[in-house]
Structure 1
Amino acid sequence: MNVPVFDGHNDLLLKLWRAKPEDRDRIWLEGDGQGHLDLPRMIKGGFAGGFFAIYIPSPSDGLDHDALMDTPPYDFALPEMIGVDAAQPVAMAMAGILMRMERVAAGRFKIVRSVAEIRECMAQGVIAAIMHIEGAEAIGSDLDALYAFHAMGLRSVGPVWSRPTLFGHGVPFRYPGTPDTGDGLTETGKAFVKACNELKIMVDLSHLNEKGFDDVAAISDAPLVATHSNAHALCASTRNLTDRQLAVIRETGGMVGLNYATVFLREDGRRSEDMTWEPMLRHLDHLIEKVGEDGVGLGSDFDGAQVPAPLGDVTGLPAFQQAMAEHQYGEDLIRKLSHGNWLRVLERTWGA
């Protein structure tokens, strides 16, 4: 089975930003055998498009997070807030990388600003890219940069990654734990959500703590969306959503994108890739039960996380869909999960 996949989150821009500038086009257009995404593997795996994250990495704290996350329990202190003066040049550089990816792909990759453009790309076999910001440090308290990024193509933004911002507070990487980890949105954060609604920029709830989640729910006039989060009932990570949060998302006609990161899938919270399809399918079952068949999609976290060994990289998507079919998901449901539900919620959010 190979149904086109529209994906809720990837960190390819971070991977390319970290590469030598002279190597970026080659890594994108030809691949280097590393990570999860490049143009040839996207085409092979049926990757129709998705949200490409602009993310400002934290300075190293000297800890081997990967090793610590494979031996729960763990609890990492949140990094310090990153100021707009430090964040904005990095965000601009990543936006530029995304634009260059479009230019050098010679008609095979397009930054999209409407669902009509996504549908057109899918019909023509062109990969559709949504510019997304994960953690809005590059936007100052005056919000002026939000309008500039919107003009560049920004159509989705998360107010926080895990560290705090001017807008609110994220969840620490903690297992076991709950998303109830601190204060809600700041007054600037509430103004930020209203501005996003005005501009029809989707507000991403992944990484936001529970009080911040509730503040967005009280303020926003758009469907609530968590682009790459899983079920807390099955994996007690702070990054996963409780059944109460899932019910709130359902009430708004919103959706959740299944995160492939092993630490958010495994019941034991470990990072190990040594697992079957079963945890992914269990989370899908639970999300569908709590949010509904129209409220669940895929949000891989490719190039930003360890994924299960059977998946491997983006070329494993057809095998994942086959596992869904063997799990008794019908073709209509697989199409909804693979891309249909993303297009539905974006039409409601963007208005086109």
Structure 2
Amino acid sequence: MTLATTPPIFDGHNDLLLRLLGGAVTARGVTNGLGSGHIDLPRAQAGGFGGGFFAIFVPSPATSGDSMAAMSLPQYDLPLPEMIPQPEALDTTWRGVEAFEALAAAGAITPCTTAAEIEAALGGPKMAAVLHLEGAEAIGPDLEELHALHARGLRSLGPVWSRPTIFGNGVPFRYPATPDIGEGLTEAGKRLVRECNALKVMIDLSHLNEKGVDDVAALSDAPLVATHSNAHAVTTHARNLTDRQLAMIAESDGMVGINFATAFLRPDGRMDPSCSLDEVLRHLDHLIGKLGEDRVGFGSDFDGATVPEGITDIAGLPNLRAAMTAHGIDAPLMEKLCHGNWLRVLRKTWGA
């Protein structure tokens, strides 16, 4: 396959900060290419990974190994983890902010709060990076913490991960299933949406259940965005978006970033790396068919999931570009899918 590294890929979701908080790598190690995982600066340069949304995530006490094993079965229904107490979540979140800032100090990332800053950093020596909160457990009902995090650079937020918060309910890791599970946003969740709109913080739909997505759509004045989600019509996982939801996203002029986690790509819902890049292309075709060419990008979930063996890590992104080219994706559409559509929706959301 052609080892093309252009156009640079701006990505809707990664969990590198979780690796830093877990001690699997240091900020300096990310810069110098030390340690394992999916992301570091040398591999970013080798693969044409221009950057993306860097998520702060508060893990549940249950081990991810148990979850991964369950998700290799033909059917599974993992129970929703319990709500995380706010003081615990807030401590982890501030440490995540510090880890993000340490990456900047080490020369691995260029923090960005505008689309213009992302565009300027793409293709440069560092990864363009937007600070994202995956699950709003750290924020209290008065939303004071939202303002404090915004002041430190937060520009994107998912109200929930796959567990309840005071703001709403997420979907479990369940296959086969629909996202029509439980109640939607709470009154606090509705206040959170309105305040995010006021602050120009992007709201991420990727872990919300169906009623929660409906509530955001009814309240938000911004484009509807799912940073790392796939098509339910292709893979009937609870995490994936139905055609009805895709129609709502298209109507709002939002977008979806395709998730590389194989459980959301494979038709059998298994978290198994023996997954062809053809499965990525099946979701790509469906999403373009429902959303149009201007509303689809990538949201890999690097460092947070098992990805197809044809990609492996960010150094493998040239294989994805080659597969897309062989699939008939021309140069203008390639530019849109790799980063142009993210820049478009972020300009519309952030106003800059």
Deviation string for 1:90-144 (max 9, x for gaps)? 0000110000100111xx5211111111122126443210000000001011100
Question: Quick one: structure 1 residues 111 and 62, their matched pair in 2 at CA, closer, same or farther if it must change by over 3 Å?
Answer: closer
Alignment of 1:191-202 (within 5 A): 191-202=191-202
State how far apart, in whole Å, the 1-side matches of 2:37 and 2:329 are. Answer: 29
Residue range with higher mean Cα deviation, 24-33 or 200-209: 24-33
TM-score by structure 2 length? 0.97
Letter matched to residue 143 of structure 1: L
Letter matched to residue 83 of structure 2: M
Residue in 2 that maps onto 1:115: 115
- 1:34 paired residue among 33, 36, 39: 36
Letter matched to residue 11 of structure 1: D
State how far apart, in whole Å, the 2-side matches of 1:63 and 1:11 are. Answer: 16
Q: Is 1:13 aligned with 2:28?
A: no
Q: Is 1:80 aligned with 2:94?
A: no
Residue in 1 that maps onto 2:161: 161
Question: Quick one: structure 1 residues 15 and 124, their matched pair in 2 at CA, closer, same or farther if it must change by over 3 Å?
Answer: closer
State how far apart, in whole Å, the 2-side matches of 1:245 and 1:278 are. Answer: 24
1:25 deviates by 3.1
Q: CA RMSD in A?
A: 1.3
Deviation string for 1:12-37 (max 9, x for gaps)? 000111016xx513431223452110
State how far apart, in whole Å, the 1-side matches of 2:34 and 2:121 are. Answer: 26
Maintained 8 Å contact 2:10/2:342: yes
Residue in 2 that maps onto 1:293: 293
State how far apart, in whole Å, the 1-side matches of 2:164 and 2:275 are. Answer: 33
Residue in 2 that maps onto 1:96: 98
State how far apart, in whole Å, the 2-side matches of 1:306 and 1:197 are. Answer: 33
Deviation string for 1:299-319 (max 9, x for gaps)? 000000000001010011111
Q: Is 1:71 aligned with 2:73?
A: yes
State how far apart, in whole Å, the 2-side matches of 1:237 and 1:53 are. Answer: 22
Residue in 2 that maps onto 1:209: 209
Structure 1 runs not aligned, ≥5 long:
none
State how far apart, in whole Å, the 2-side matches of 1:251 and 1:317 are. Answer: 30
Maintained 8 Å contact 2:8/2:123: no
Question: Quick one: structure 1 residues 117 and 136, their matched pair in 2 at CA, closer, same or farther if it must change by over 3 Å?
Answer: same
Q: Is 1:330 aligned with 2:334?
A: no
Query: Which stretches of structure 1, 4 residues or longer, exceed 4 Å deviation after superposition?
Result: none
State how far apart, in whole Å, the 1-side matches of 2:265 and 2:63 are. Answer: 26
1:283 deviates by 0.3
1:275 deviates by 2.1
Residue in 1 that maps onto 2:170: 170
Question: Quick one: structure 1 residues 209 and 62, their matched pair in 2 at CA, closer, same or farther if it must change by over 3 Å?
Answer: closer
Question: Quick one: structure 1 residues 125 and 27, their matched pair in 2 at CA, closer, same or farther if it must change by over 3 Å?
Answer: closer
Letter matched to residue 13 of structure 1: L
State how far apart, in whole Å, the 2-side matches of 1:315 and 1:335 are. Answer: 18
State how far apart, in whole Å, the 2-side matches of 1:7 and 1:152 are. Answer: 21
Maintained 8 Å contact 2:167/2:187: yes
1:175 deviates by 0.3
Deviation string for 1:265-304 (max 9, x for gaps)? 0001111111221100000000000011000000000000
1:64 partner SS: helix
1:72 deviates by 2.1
State how far apart, in whole Å, the 2-side matches of 1:139 and 1:72 are. Answer: 37
Residue in 2 that maps onto 1:314: 314
Letter matched to residue 154 of structure 1: L
Deviation string for 1:306-350 (max 9, x for gaps)? 000010100111110110000001111111000000000000000
Question: Quick one: structure 1 residues 174 and 87, their matched pair in 2 at CA, closer, same or farther if it must change by over 3 Å?
Answer: same
TM-score by structure 1 length? 0.97
Figure out how many residues of one structure are paired with residues of the other and give that number. Answer: 348
Residue in 1 that maps onto 2:133: 133
Question: Quick one: structure 1 residues 337 and 63, their matched pair in 2 at CA, closer, same or farther if it must change by over 3 Å?
Answer: closer
State how far apart, in whole Å, the 2-side matches of 1:101 and 1:219 are. Answer: 35
Q: Is 1:268 aligned with 2:268?
A: yes
Residue in 2 that maps onto 1:145: 145
- 1:59 paired residue among 58, 61, 80: 61
Deviation string for 1:182-216 (max 9, x for gaps)? 00100000000000000000000001000000000
State how far apart, in whole Å, the 2-side matches of 1:235 and 1:272 are. Answer: 14
Letter matched to residue 175 of structure 1: Y
Structure 2 runs not aligned, ≥5 long:
none
